Chains A and B, each alone.
Chain A
Amino acid sequence: MTSTYAVLSEGLEKRFGQVHALRGLDLAVAEGTVCGVLGPNGAGKTTAVGLLTTLLRPDAGSARVAGHDLVREAAAVRGRIAVTGQDTSIDGDLTGRQNLRLFGRLHRVRGPAGRTAELLDRFGLTEAADRPASTWSGGMRRRLDLAASLVRRPDVLFLDEPTTGLDPVSRTLIWDVVRGLTAEGTTVLLTTQYLEEADQLADDIALVDRGRVTHTGSPAQLKSLVGAHAEVVVPEADVLAEAAAVLDRLTGAQPSFDHERNAVAAVSKDPTLTIPLLVRALDTAGVPLLDVSLRPPTLDDVFLRLTETAPEPTGTTDEKERAA
């Protein structure tokens, strides 16, 4: 039977001693798509990748990856996947070219020299190719790591936070490569903390929190789960609390303050909220206004609303956004 899912897991569980890292992971990734696995630190993203790439053995549940059973046909799974992890895992004592040739040999690629040259070129590494990888910059090493995963085109590519801490040039290059891969039929499972990355690349997103998938859908579908991001700016600090009370009532969400700008904001639970409704309510309450805005939710808003363990308090994130 050929499955249309490149990754299909049911109830995957993993414990490390007292820590219940995964509590039943159900994931379905359609062939040829990019699935973004999104979640706060400690949600179980890396454990999920470890299980799905045969590095870890599940305590319960089952999964098929690239059409093979993860546990009973682990060797067959390994033959069709590639992994680029959070930490660079190339051999720093070898040059970039030597690294790629080694992976080419291990994957039994015909003409590894040609494939190596092609990949070095595609990842902008040709110039440094014959220097030991330990002398390279972090971004270059990460690009080489991804290149090593592509020496033989994998059916399923796992990327565990591939661009964390990377410079914009390397990040854009990796994004371009990922887009190109799905065009060639490779399925990509990508974990990330960057919502923009998921928004840019993912066809579907699985929101993971505390070892479970809590929500799935396209970025647009997930955004429609929460209403708009409303912000009110007032002229005087003493009316800020009144504005917040109105916002609280209309959005049904806990507002967050930006005291420097005399602003208060909330992500609406009500998708029917409009600017006229907002202005009328504030006017009725006698709150003077400098500015009222309502913008579509970002994945950040979705993430903060839907995950119980937000990475940071809402206010802090908002303040950071404004400062940026």
Chain B
Amino acid sequence: MSMLAHDGTAMLGRQLLRLRNNPGLLILTQTMPISMLLFFGYVFGSALAVPGEAYRAFLVPGLLVATASGGIMAGMFQAAQDTHRGVTNRFRTLPVSRAAVPLGQAVADLVATAVGTVPFLLVGLAVGWRVEGSPLEAAGAFALLMLFRFACTWVGIHLGLLTRNEEAAGQLGGATFLLPLLSSAYIPTSGLPGWLRTVAEWNPISAVATALRDLLGNAPVPDGAAWPVAHPVAGSLLWCAVLLGVFVPLAVRQYAHGER
């Protein structure tokens, strides 16, 4: 375990150095959710039945979760890039704990996400979003968001180690933008036709988005929703446990075995 801690810390250090060497990258990843908040909040929001301010308060937690699901793309791209450039193989020949490389990547991503969320939250406050829940609930919401990001990153790392190709990972990663579209990230699912609503509500993004809105006091839990959305906190925790339970062992195994 101490080997994992030592090597994991070294790998975390590597990823944090990369961020420090390229601070522009961190800022760039945040321009997307901020511009989406402004476009959706003011352009699309003006066409919705709900008042603009209420929709923006609904949208901020949704975009937080949608951005967190981008961990799939980020994890995949980074793992594929390292593999493609031979860095992964280099680490494989070192006497380094097999879990340390993916773990360091996932934890570094978490740090970057936590820091990167701050400007988005400031813009959210500026457009009328408020934390209505207790500080404890707000802390819970943030912890849940980070847990979900962590789980998504592991999904991405596994896929990235499988594809091994930067360009393929970039293409495939683009497709993950579609995931929040079929969820309650941007719209309430109650308006969707029956079967589509079921699909959207079983999307993990819906459970986490609903949990955040509930904990932050931005919107109530919808009536008659599927189980993960009707019990959003338990549903979110379960989803994260399932994703981590499946993809952490897969990613570590894939890292350890390589192309042999």
Contacts and interface: CB of A to CB of B under 8 A. Distances in A.
Partners in one complex: yes
Contact of B22 (A88, A93, A107): A93
A83 B90 CA distance: 7
B194 interface: no
A120 B259 CA distance: 32
A138 interface: no
Interface in B1-38: 6-7, 10, 13-14, 17-18, 21-22
A142 to B, nearest CB: 12
Interface in B62-87: 85-87
A102 interface: yes
Interface of B: 6-7, 10, 13-14, 17-18, 21-22, 85-87, 89-96, 258-260
A139 interface: no
A85 interface: yes
30 contacts: A54-B92, A56-B258, A56-B259, A75-B95, A78-B94, A81-B93, A82-B93, A83-B90, A85-B86, A85-B90, A89-B85, A89-B86, A89-B87, A89-B89, A90-B90, A91-B14, A91-B87, A93-B17, A93-B18, A93-B21, A94-B17, A94-B18, A102-B13, A102-B14, A105-B13, A106-B10, A106-B96, A107-B94, A107-B95, A148-B90
In this complex, the interface size class of chain A, counting residues with CB under 8 Å from chain B, is 20 to 34
A53 B93 contact: yes
B197 to A, nearest CB: 44
Nearest to A84: B90
Given A55-B258, A92-B85, A105-B13, A78 B21 contact: no
Interface of A: 53-57, 75, 78-79, 81-83, 85, 87-95, 98, 102-103, 105-108, 132, 148
Contact of A85 (B21, B89, B259): B89
Nearest to B22: A93
Nearest to A51: B260
List the 10 shortest-distance A-B pairs measured between CB atoms, nearest first.
Answer: A89-B86, A89-B90, A79-B95, A57-B260, A105-B10, A93-B18, A78-B95, A56-B260, A87-B86, A83-B93
B10 A102 contact: yes
A94 B86 contact: no
Nearest to B259: A56
A108 B94 CA distance: 11
B14 A88 contact: no
A53 B91 CA distance: 11
Nearest to A86: B86
A130 to B, nearest CB: 10
Given A81-B93, A90-B87, A106-B7, 15 more contacts: A55-B93, A78-B94, A82-B93, A88-B86, A89-B85, A89-B90, A92-B85, A93-B22, A94-B18, A94-B21, A102-B13, A102-B14, A102-B17, A106-B94, A148-B90
Nearest to A103: B94
A252 to B, nearest CB: 45
A47 to B, nearest CB: 11
B89 A55 contact: yes
Contacts of A78: 93-96
Contacts of A98: 14, 17, 21
A82 B7 CA distance: 17
B161 to A, nearest CB: 14
Contacts of A55: 89, 92-93, 258-260
A78 B93 CA distance: 6
Contacts of B91: 106
A57 B6 CA distance: 27
Contacts of A75: 95
Nearest to A81: B93
Nearest to A80: B95
A53 B259 CA distance: 13
